[in-house]
Chains A and B, each alone.
Chain A
Amino acid sequence: MNKQASIHLDSGLEIGYGSPLAKFGDAVKLTSGTHFLLARNGRGKTTLLRTLAGTLKPVAGSFRAEGYLQYLPEDLNFDSEITPAMIFKMLLPKDRVKEAVELATRIELDVKKPYGRLSTGNRRKTALIMAEFSVRPDTGNILLLDEPFSGLDAFARQAFEEIWKKSASNVLRLVSCHPDYDAMEMPNALMIEGNTARHLDEPGQTWSCLKALMN
């Protein structure tokens, strides 16, 4: 089975809700690894992720996504009565539940506390663990993460970034975010500036240089 995930965005792909929000001038090919999706508020980050996830039609043009896809919306919420432990037990493959609970414990997520009583950051951790441990080892995976770091503490963020590094070979992650420190490395980024979207993959690229392009 093909373990390589990929997304091909054709030249001329336009995204938006009815009217175009952003357009890809050049064709873009994304392969396994982490790709950051950067844009100012309201410029189409979530719209692009939803389009790639297949829950929103492109305004024009086409794209192709190959791999087991998961889109984690920013506002994903579970029932307030259910606990993270139950969520993992119900949604994850049996052999990964233990690992997931161990990570949860390490990043201080109380898996026995009802979801409704968790803080925003801990709710985010629950959703991220669920998505990360649902990754299929035998095939290429695409994870579209909408603002996964919002509300997350630095320690938890580091833990997830380590997982990303370890599974970079068979998981393509497209992560929308608003980085909070200039030195953050972003070797691969999709950027929406104005109405144009493009792919930037200069070696040694950091948030500092990309930020300058956005303004």
Chain B
Amino acid sequence: MRLFRLTLATIFQRKAWVICALAVIIMPFALPLVSSATEKPILVQPARILAAWGTLWTCTLMWGLYTAAKEGEKNAKSGIGEYFQTTGVSPTRQLFEIWLAVFCFVAPLAIITGLITQFGATPALADERAMWWTLNIQYVSLFLLVIGPLLALATALASRFGGIAGFTITLLITLYGLYGVGYVEHMLQVEENPLLRGLWVYSPHYSFADLTQRLLFKRGSLPTDGFWNMTLYFTGILAVYVGLSRLTFRAKVSA
């Protein structure tokens, strides 16, 4: 795990993660103070939930994907990937070790956000409180299941096409999955179109993993069947992305 340790130390040393960590910890408490929640105390908790998860998504998409892409590009271009390959660390292993290092920074951010929602925005009613833990765990799990493969894809694409391509493509895929798919669905409701239907079916429905509205309106945890179906769905996407990432990843720039 030498490459993992080196990547972990490199990200740690760059210190940009500190900004994300501070943002994830401070924003959920600071942003409600500058919102309309100050006039209506009842809105403080929803505002905190919105700020917490909004900050997490933003930090992960901007910093997480960027870091993953940068590490992938650097590994291929700096000769480090080639060095490790000659010592017996296969490209698959390299991709895994780089991914794991980035994931080690992203996962705690998600867990912190989950904990802030759990303890900093707990519903007052007992029955709502009962489902709060489950919903938070479900959200953190789905979030990590969505982000994990995207980090790998960013690393792999950047190793072949450069950091800008790796970051931009994965960012656009995520934004499309979170918001764009909804627009496609709207268009289908207005007028059925087989091409559009095909696009919608094969699109990554990341909005399913965004449970912010569910937390905001205290709709309760996902039914067990629904949660496992979603887990299975995102695991399928994970499998596709893992395959794509491995095909795309390269440990060194071609001669």
CB of A79 within 8 A of CB of B86, answer no
B77-110 with Cβ < 8 A to chain A: 78-80, 82-83, 85-88
Given contacts A56-B255, A78-B78, A81-B14, contact A70 B83 (CB under 8 A): yes
Residues of B within 8 A of A69 (CB): 86-88
Residues of A within 8 A of B6 (CB): 78, 82, 87, 90-91
Residue B10 at the chain A interface, CB threshold 8 Å: yes
CB of A81 within 8 A of CB of B13, answer yes
CB of B87 within 8 A of CB of A73, answer no
CB of B10 within 8 A of CB of A73, answer no
CB of B74 within 8 A of CB of A79, answer yes
A92 to B, closest residue via Cβ: B2
Residue A100 at the chain B interface, CB threshold 8 Å: no
Q: How far is the CB of A129 from chain B (nearest CB, A)?
A: 14
Residue A76 at the chain B interface, CB threshold 8 Å: yes
B190-208 with Cβ < 8 A to chain A: none
Partner of B13, one of A53, A73, A75, A86: A86
CB of A75 within 8 A of CB of B14, answer no
CB of A75 within 8 A of CB of B79, answer yes
CB of A76 within 8 A of CB of B79, answer yes
Interface centre among B9, B74, B78, B252 (most CB of A within 10 A): B9
Residues of A within 8 A of B252 (CB): 55
CB of A71 within 8 A of CB of B2, answer no
Chain B's interface: helix, strand, loop or mixed, by majority? helix
Given contacts A70-B86, A73-B79, A73-B83, contact A81 B2 (CB under 8 A): no
Interface centre among B10, B14, B85, B88 (most CB of A within 10 A): B10
B83 to A, closest residue via Cβ: A76
Interface size, B (range): 20 to 34
Fill in one digit per residue for A32-61: 1 if any B CB lies within 8 Å of its CB, else 0: 000000000000000000100111100000
Residues of B within 8 A of A71 (CB): 82-83, 86
CB of B86 within 8 A of CB of A76, answer no
Residues of A within 8 A of B82 (CB): 53, 55, 71, 73
CB of A91 within 8 A of CB of B5, answer yes
CB of B9 within 8 A of CB of A90, answer yes
CB of A90 within 8 A of CB of B2, answer yes
Partner of A55, one of B10, B74, B80, B85: B85
A79 to B255, CA, bound (A): 22
A68 to B86, CA, bound (A): 9
Residue A72 at the chain B interface, CB threshold 8 Å: yes
Residue A144 at the chain B interface, CB threshold 8 Å: yes
Residues of A within 8 A of B9 (CB): 82, 86-87, 89-90
Residue A155 at the chain B interface, CB threshold 8 Å: no
Q: How far is the CB of A83 from chain B (nearest CB, A)?
A: 8
Q: How far is the CB of B46 from chain A (nearest CB, A)?
A: 39
A residues apposed to B, CB below 8 Å: 17, 50, 53-56, 68-73, 75-79, 81-83, 86-87, 89-91, 134, 144
Task: List 18 contacting pairs A-B, 8 Å CB cutoff, sorted by A.
Answer: A53-B82, A53-B85, A53-B86, A70-B83, A70-B86, A72-B83, A73-B79, A73-B82, A75-B78, A78-B6, A78-B80, A79-B10, A81-B13, A83-B13, A87-B9, A89-B9, A90-B2, A134-B87
A-B pairs, top 10 by smallest CB distance, nearest first, are A76-B79, A71-B86, A73-B79, A90-B5, A53-B86, A77-B78, A79-B10, A81-B13, A90-B6, A90-B9
B residues apposed to A, CB below 8 Å: 2, 5-6, 8-10, 13-14, 74, 78-80, 82-83, 85-88, 252, 255
